[in-house]
């Protein structure tokens, strides 16, 4: 898809379709008023007759409107003007794309950038229009023998800006939207692949592929023998039951002074999670291919930052395994020694994510990080607590937590903070080892983060539990690409602060 920005009145756009907002109670937007005036009241007459009310979800496609140069005018209902928020803005764009796909138009001039979104400027609207459009158009059909293609696919969007003075900055946010959207797309593709294709080896190959595409990325892959030398007994205990060997993938994006302490992103990469000996129920077990969405998001974020050539240093660490039951798989009651030297009693082999993350978090120390953010589909308890709307956030550093909360609000990819208090550490006590890998029924998301915090005493940590937001179930089953938007916005904010 091609995206660009342009200034100019809607009736003068010589293009396949011009998209115009209309608000509830039949209120015309500024662009609708211009078209209405040029067409001698054609739009207002349609509104007066009730052809379109302006409610959210209303659409009306017009052809050959008098005194306009475009082939079509698409009126999009936006609801009440004062109620439009981030979620509504995405819905409006989704409704636009859905109608345009069957319109025959291939090149579009969108005036949806004039919609007032609470506390968002036109640059935000340009960037997130791109993300919303690409989200609407995304299809994972690589593995289907017959791929349905649109007869006349959409190929170009032009976003309206108020004047020439906004063109340069508008183009910058076009690039930003395209880069973040590409990162989200990559994360979705990786996550939607089945476990027999997207293995730890495959994830490593995709990280290596990015190294070949971007000079600023260096990728290193540690094999099981390397991890054994490092003493990563917790990580390796998870891969014991699988024929797929574990991989520790390290992606270094260096685009600033080498002395600058990096942001380290650690992504859980369990390419399929059967639960191990603590076997999961059969229903919806196919969705356990999504247990590597944390890893996919790290790869997506680094790809977005490389596309934008952001002047920052980032390290992505991806511990990748497959968790399977087998004669030599870890058993409940086994005790393993982590890279940190701390011992762990494995009371539940389905609490494997924290076992691979704890060694990866210890490994992160060698990079002398400014901050470390781990991203993991870690606990079902997070879904119980927060549902499918927001990721869980726990941190040992308030400024880091506040920055992520702020980035979530700015991007619309939100997170919500839960406490990381020492009170909960008591639940991890073991009679036989330094700690247990589960903390009982209560506060499962918090005790999981408490477990990880025992391996992060030397730096600032934020833990994102994305179990509720990383994919959708049911008829819309598929990866969401979250939290690529949130994390890329966090990094963009850091870059802006350092200018």
Q: What is the mean pLDDT of residues 403-426?
A: 97
Q: Is the pLDDT of residue 103 over 80?
A: yes
Give the span between the Cα atoms of 499 and 495, in whole angstroms: 6
Q: Where are the alpha helices (DSSP H) in 11-116?
A: 30-38, 42-48, 86-100
In the predicted model, what is the mean pLDDT of the chain?
96
Q: Is the pLDDT of residue 403 over 90?
A: yes
Q: What is the mean pLDDT of residues 329-340?
A: 98
Closest CA to 284 of 481, 474, 480: 474
Q: Is the pLDDT of residue 120 over 90?
A: yes
Q: Where are the domains of the chain?
A: 2-139+155-179, 193-497
Q: Which fold does the domain 193-497 belong to in CATH?
A: Aminopeptidase (3.40.630)
Q: Is the pLDDT of residue 278 over 80?
A: yes
Q: What is the mean pLDDT of residues 309-324?
A: 98
Give the span between the Cα atoms of 318 and 200, in whole angstroms: 10
Q: Which of 156, 208, 280, 472 is catalytic?
A: 280
Q: Is the pLDDT of residue 227 over 80?
A: yes
pLDDT of 57? 94
Q: Which helix (H) or strand (E) holds 280?
A: none
**Residue 331 annotated among the catalytic residues of the structure:** no
Q: What is the DSSP letter of 319?
A: E
Which pTM does this prediction carry?
A: 0.96
Q: Which of 99, 354, 414, 454 is catalytic?
A: 354
Give the span between the Cα atoms of 123 and 113, in whole angstroms: 9
Q: Is the pLDDT of residue 475 over 90?
A: yes
E strands, 97-228, are 107-110, 156-161, 217-222
Q: What is the mean pLDDT of residues 477-499?
A: 96
Between 238 and 152, the higher pLDDT residue: 238
**H helices, E strands: number in the chain:** 14, 21
pLDDT digits (tens, 9 = 90+) for 286-302: 999 999 999 999 999 99
Spatial CB neighbours of 221, under 8 Å, sequence gap ≥ 6:
204, 207, 208, 247, 248, 249, 250
**Residue 414 annotated among the catalytic residues of the structure:** no
Give the span between the Cα atoms of 120 and 417, in whole angstroms: 23
Give the span between the Cα atoms of 60 and 42, in whole angstroms: 13
pLDDT of 152? 85
pLDDT digits (tens, 9 = 90+) for 246-267: 999 999 999 998 889 999 999 9
Cβ–Cβ < 8 Å for 387, 445: no
Percent above pLDDT 70 for the chain = 100
Q: Which fold does the domain 2-139+155-179 belong to in CATH?
A: 3.40.220
Decide if 2-139+155-179 and 193-497 have a common fold: no
pLDDT digits (tens, 9 = 90+) for 144-196: 988 777 678 999 999 999 988 899 999 999 999 999 999 999 999 999 999 99
Q: Is the pLDDT of residue 381 over 90?
A: yes
Q: What is the mean pLDDT of residues 393-405?
A: 98
pLDDT of 114? 96
pLDDT digits (tens, 9 = 90+) for 338-365: 999 999 999 999 999 999 999 999 999 9
């Amino acid at each position: 898809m091609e995206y660009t920005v342009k200034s100019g009145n809607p009736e003068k756009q010589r293009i396949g379709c011009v998209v115009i907002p209309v608000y509830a109670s039949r209120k015309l937007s500024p662009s609708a008023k211009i078209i209405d005036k040029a067409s001698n009241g054609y739009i207002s007459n349609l509104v007066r007759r009730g052809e379109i009310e302006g409610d959210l979800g209303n659409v009306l496609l017009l052809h050959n409107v008098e005194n306009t140069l475009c082939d079509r005018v698409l009126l999009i209902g936006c609801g009440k003007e004062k109620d439009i928020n981030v979620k509504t803005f995405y819905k409006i764009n989704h409704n636009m794309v859905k109608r345009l796909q069957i319109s025959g138009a291939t090149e579009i001039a969108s005036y949806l950038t004039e919609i007032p979104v609470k506390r968002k400027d036109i640059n935000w609207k340009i960037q997130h229009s791109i993300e919303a459009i690409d989200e609407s158009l995304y299809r994972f059909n690589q593995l289907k023998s017959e791929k349905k293609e649109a007869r006349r696919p959409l190929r170009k969007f032009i976003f309206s800006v108020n004047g020439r003075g906004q063109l340069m900055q508008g183009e910058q946010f076009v690039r930003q939207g395209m880069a973040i959207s590409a990162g989200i797309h990559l994360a979705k593709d990786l996550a939607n692949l089945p476990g027999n294709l997207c293995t730890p080896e495959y994830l490593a190959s995709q990280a290596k592929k990015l190294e070949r595409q971007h000079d600023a990325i260096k990728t290193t892959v540690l094999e099981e023998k390397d991890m054994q030398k490092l003493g990563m007994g917790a990580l390796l205990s998870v891969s014991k039951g699988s024929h797929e060997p574990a991989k520790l993938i390290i992606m270094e994006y260096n685009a600033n002074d080498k002395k600058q302490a990096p942001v380290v992103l650690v992504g859980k990469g369990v390419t399929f999670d059967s639960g191990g000996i603590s076997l999961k129920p059969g229903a919806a077990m196919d969705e356990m291919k999504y247990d590597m969405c944390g890893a996919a998001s790290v790869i997506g974020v680094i790809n977005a930052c490389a596309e934008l050539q952001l002047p920052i240093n980032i390290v992505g660490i991806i511990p990748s395994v497959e968790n399977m039951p087998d004669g030599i798989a870890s058993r409940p009651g086994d005790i393993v020694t982590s890279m940190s030297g701390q011992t762990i009693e494995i009371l539940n082999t389905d609490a494997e994510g924290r076992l691979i993350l704890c060694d990866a978090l210890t490994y992160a120390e060698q990079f002398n990080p400014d901050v470390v953010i781990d991203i993991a589909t870690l606990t079902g308890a997070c879904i119980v607590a927060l549902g499918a709307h927001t990721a869980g956030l726990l941190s040992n550093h308030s400024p880091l937590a506040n920055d992520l909360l702020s980035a979530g609000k700015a991007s619309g990819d939100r997170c919500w903070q839960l406490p990381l208090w020492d009170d909960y550490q008591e639940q991890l006590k073991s009679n036989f080892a330094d700690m247990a890998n589960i903390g009982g029924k209560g506060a499962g998301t918090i005790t999981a983060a408490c477990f990880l915090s025992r391996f992060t005493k030397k730096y600032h940590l934020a833990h994102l539990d994305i179990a509720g937001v990383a994919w959708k179930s049911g008829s819309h089953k598929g990866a969401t690409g979250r939290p690529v938007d949130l994390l890329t916005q966090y990094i963009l904010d850091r870059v802006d602060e350092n200018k």
